[in-house]
Amino acid sequence: MTRREMALTSLAVATSLNAETAPEARFDPVAYSRERYKTAPLRLKFNSTTPAATRAWQRKLRTKLSELVGGFPQNPSPLRPRVLETKDLGTYTREKIVFTSREGMEVLTYLAKPKAVAGALPVMVCVPGHGRGVDDIVGIDEKGNQRSVASGYQADFALQFVEQGVAALAIEPLAFGYRRDPINVAKGPNQNSCQPAAGAALLLGETMVGWRVYDVMRAIDYVETRKDLDAKRVGCVGISGGGTCTLFATALDTRIQVAMVSGYLNTFRDCILSLSHCMDNYVPGILNWAEMSDVAGLIAPRPLFFESGELDRIFPLAGFKEGFEGTRKVYESLGASDVLGMEIHPGAHVFHGVKGVPYIAKNLKGA
């Protein structure tokens, strides 16, 4: 076929397309996806009008959500916790701990405890986002040294809670930091193993979201074994991919009393569906049942705080506002609007914490 013939063929195809749609849009998979979103079933989208109906809706969606993320082991393995080291860091101590999440898979954690608080401490399970992993939220630099000034987009947020008199159990998410395959370790500290691991989960009919949520659940199981931690006052916090894990974990495990989600709340339409994201974000079939605000609504009436940056291009501000409004309706239906908080800060995709950290710490200590 000559170039002229190809041009004439292309013109014929273009003119045969629906006149109401620009030809280029008919070749755009993102535009197509957003059109498909308009007719997504969302069979369990929130529309309750009474507290009783809302609680019934929560039970039904929580069961479905557990199924969608791939379910969880029915017979938990022994935790087999080991404290590898303990350090005195002035105003707080830090333990390095490993426990078994499921057979063949271990979790590395740091437990940071403020010295000035007596008795069993309230504790935040802290989940980092993409980057160097758990070291980056407890102030450990790339050389393994303790830094004196917070650095990076995660701003040592686990230590921000320690400063508020709350213990921080910072866990390494699967495929970050210490929990990576050798090929990705060799590529540098910021390289993750999300693609092969999340892909494997999908091939097994499970999800990376489910795998990471289960690690949070097992972290709470570990908290329950410690007399120095108060298992009735457990919260969860994370940014970005850690915010994903925090939202889903708190929605599915009601032992979590408070939660703070930074740089994640949005609509699936405006972030995951419309922009390039890591494969660890995807839950197959979720739009047949619910939007992100519905997942967040499963946390009601427990205290919950969201923050988002005006300049966040990964989780756009318009989507954040819509997601928050949808969540607010669930809290309103249970008469719990007063424990739902949010802050829009002037930054980009970073942990801010100015209002959220003291808000959540106060609610956790009073739980």
Cα-based angle 144, 149, 151 (whole degrees, multiple of 5): 70
Amino acid 23: pLDDT: 63
328 contacts 99 by C-beta, under 8 angstroms: no
Contact of 166 with 365, CB cutoff 8 Å:
yes
Domain range summary for the chain, segments of one domain joined by +: 56-365
Token pair for residue 56? Answer: 């019934």
Per-residue pLDDT at 15 exceeds 70: no
For residue 316, the model assigns a pLDDT of 97
How far lies 40's CA from each of 10, 133, 251, 296, 319, in Å?
Answer: 32, 35, 22, 19, 17
Tokens of 364: 């956790």
Global model pTM greater than 0.85 = yes
Q: What is the pLDDT of residue 124?
A: 98
Q: Which residues pair with 318 in a beta bridge?
A: none
pLDDT score for 5: 47
Mean per-residue pLDDT, 123-135:
97
Query: What pLDDT, in 10s, does the model give residues 243-271?
Result: 999 999 999 999 999 999 999 999 999 99
Q: In terms of residues, how long is the chain?
A: 367
- Band of residue 21 on the pLDDT scale cut at 50, 70, 90: low
- pLDDT tens digit string along 144-184? 999 999 999 999 999 999 999 999 999 999 999 999 999 99
**Tens of pLDDT along 321-341?**
999 999 999 999 999 999 999
pLDDT of residue 26: 82
Residue 283 contacts residue 69 (beta carbons within 8 Å): yes
Cα end-to-end span (Å), the chain: 74
Residue 367: its pLDDT value, please? 84
Amino acid at 240: S
pLDDT of residue 12 exceeding 50: no
Minimum mean pLDDT range among 16-30, 56-70, 117-131, 293-307: 16-30
Q: Is the pLDDT reported for residue 4 higher than 60?
A: no
Give the residue from 279, 295, 296 showing the smallest Cα distance to 287: 295
Q: Spell out a b/e string for 329-365, using b for 16 or more CB atoms within 10 Å of the CB, else e.
A: bbbebbebeebbbbbbbebebbbbbeebbebbbebbb
Task: Tell the residue number behind the tokens 């003291």, with chain if given.
Answer: 358
Residue 14 has a pLDDT of 39
Question: Helix (H, G, I), strand (E, B), or coil: what is residue 261?
Answer: strand
Mean pLDDT, range 93-104, rounded to an integer: 97
Arithmetic mean of pLDDT over the chain: 93
SS3 308: strand
pLDDT of 78 strictly over 90: yes
Number of H helices, E strands in the chain: 11, 9
Q: How many CB atoms lie within 10 A of CB 185?
A: 13
CATH 3.40.50.1820 given to domain 56-365: yes
Distances (CA, A) of 90 to 96, 113, 151, 175, 229: 16, 11, 19, 31, 20
Mean pLDDT on 193-214: 97
Does position 294 have pLDDT exceeding 60, yes or no? yes
| Res 9 pLDDT > 80 | no
What pLDDT does 3 receive?
47
The pLDDT value given to residue 11: 36
- Residue 26 has what DSSP assignment? G
Mean pLDDT within 215-228: 98
